[in-house]
Structure 1
Amino acid sequence: MVKYIVLGALMVLTVTTYSQSFKLDKFSEKAHKTTQTGMLVLSGWAVANIGTGFIAAGQTGGSDKYMHQMNAYFNIVNLAIAQAGYWGSRKRMKSPQSFSQAVKQQNSEEKTFLLNAGLDAAYILGGLYWAELGKKHPGEKKYFQFRGYGKSLVLQGGFLMIFDGLMYTIRHRQGKILFKQLENIDLAIAPGGAGLVYRF
């Protein structure tokens, strides 16, 4: 009798796993595409700042020159991070995710965007501090450098805070769909073993 119960449970779990896997695949694909789109937006911002930054730095003077320089240098790093994120997501997209892997990836991305938003706030505060520090060197080269670098950090930090905030919001909403599935999973204990049962 126990064998028939176990066999029946395995059949139910097989059908359930197939149904859940199909939904999970769709979720994972949408999540990856969201991340990839975000990384392409960040790459576009970076490329635009690198190009205009180096060109404008050679055509302007004073604090504007240093602002454009910092925009270019700052976004070389941004571009590297965005491309690593994009290609990493593309690579993960080729392999099917288990439910636990999807949860782990979801948590990791949400935490990353929140952490980045905190760093963005630090960039803005650092930029304001540099701009204020420049006032201590009126008429000197440091005045223009600090003012220019400060304005750049405020601009870049402001953009990144909006970007990371939007990315967190979108991925968090997607995550609610994933975590809602946990409500349908129960631990079943029977003679000879235990297992997880997914309720339709």
Structure 2
Amino acid sequence: MNRKLLFTLALLFLFTLDTLAQQELGNFNQERLQINKVGMMVLGGWALANFGTNGVLLSNPSSNEQGHFYRMNIFWNVVNLGLAIPGLRHSLITDPSTLNLAETVGEYHQMGKVLLMNAGLDVAYITGGFLMKEMAKNREGKRGILRGYGRSLILQGGFLLAFDIILYSVLQSKSNQLTDILNHVQLSPNSVGLVWRF
């Protein structure tokens, strides 16, 4: 076989492997961004549903406590919507094929850390809600607001805890796929490359 043909076939083989590696990384990023998009749509949907439901119920609350409960649910979901919109925007405008390996690993691990930190905060919100309800027993003048806000913290914190745990679990289900990609990375003093072993 002539050397030029052998060299050309070797180059073609290397370019094919590089294309496959980039495609695998792009597929991983596409799936990761889709998970984030769905999560942000759920969070945004929860916020909008809370605005509508609690806004209507706030117009005629059955008690002072109920009014505070509806009001706090609305306030709480301003924050939820404020988080969902930029997260959804990022998922929609990011081209998965443009993210390199370092950016992919960074975004993946950053999202995991944020979700775990949020889950810890959610537990604190729920605990705070129960504490507010307990405090209401000894504060006659603030009973309505403490019980209403407390119930809201328990509800909203409970939803967010479930949301963060589920989103983290779905994200972690992709960790084997990322590990497989990282297993093909080879470092040398002068370069970083993807290596496919057969």
Question: Structure 1 residues 103, 185: closer, same or farther in 2, change over 3 A?
Answer: same
The code of the aligned residue for 2:74 comes to A
- Is contact 1:53–1:69 with CA below 8 Å preserved after alignment? yes
- Is contact 1:46–1:79 with CA below 8 Å preserved after alignment? yes
For 1:197 and 1:84, how far apart are their aligned partners in 2? 33
Tell me the TM-score normalised to structure 2 length. Answer: 0.87
SS in 2 for 1:187: strand
Among 132, 136, 139, the alignment partner of 2:134 is 132
Question: Structure 1 residues 155, 195: closer, same or farther in 2, change over 3 A?
Answer: closer
1:106 lines up with 2:108 in the alignment:
yes
The code of the aligned residue for 2:77 comes to N
Question: Structure 1 residues 195, 134: closer, same or farther in 2, change over 3 A?
Answer: closer
Question: Structure 1 residues 17, 143: closer, same or farther in 2, change over 3 A?
Answer: same
Tell me the alpha carbon deviations over residues 122-173 of structure 1, each in whole angstroms, 9 at most, x when there is no partner: 11011111111111112x2x10000000000000000000000000000111
- Aligned pairs, number: 191
Residue equivalent to 2:193 = 196
For 1:94 and 1:31, how far apart are their aligned partners in 2? 9
Aligned-residue identity in percent: 32
Question: Structure 1 residues 194, 120: closer, same or farther in 2, change over 3 A?
Answer: closer
The code of the aligned residue for 1:93 comes to D
- Is contact 2:29–2:97 with CA below 8 Å preserved after alignment? no
Deviates more, 1:163-172 or 1:57-66: 57-66
The code of the aligned residue for 1:25 comes to G
Residue equivalent to 1:4 = none
Tell me the alpha carbon deviations over residues 85-134 of structure 1, each in whole angstroms, 9 at most, x when there is no partner: 10022122366111121111101111111111111111101111111111
What stretches of structure 1 of length at least 5 have no aligned partner? 1-6
CA RMSD of aligned residues (A): 2.4
Question: Structure 1 residues 14, 100: closer, same or farther in 2, change over 3 A?
Answer: farther
SS in 1 for 2:173: helix
- Is contact 1:13–1:198 with CA below 8 Å preserved after alignment? no
Structure number with the bigger relative contact order (C-alpha 8 A, sep ≥ 6) is: 2
Residue equivalent to 2:167 = 167
For 1:103 and 1:62, how far apart are their aligned partners in 2? 49
Mapping 1:45-194, distance limit 5 Å: 45-60=46-61, 61-93=63-95, 96-138=98-140, 140=141, 142-188=142-188
Residue equivalent to 2:36 = 35
Question: Structure 1 residues 55, 195: closer, same or farther in 2, change over 3 A?
Answer: closer
How far residue 11 of structure 1 moved from its aligned partner, in angstroms, is 6.7
SS in 1 for 2:139: coil
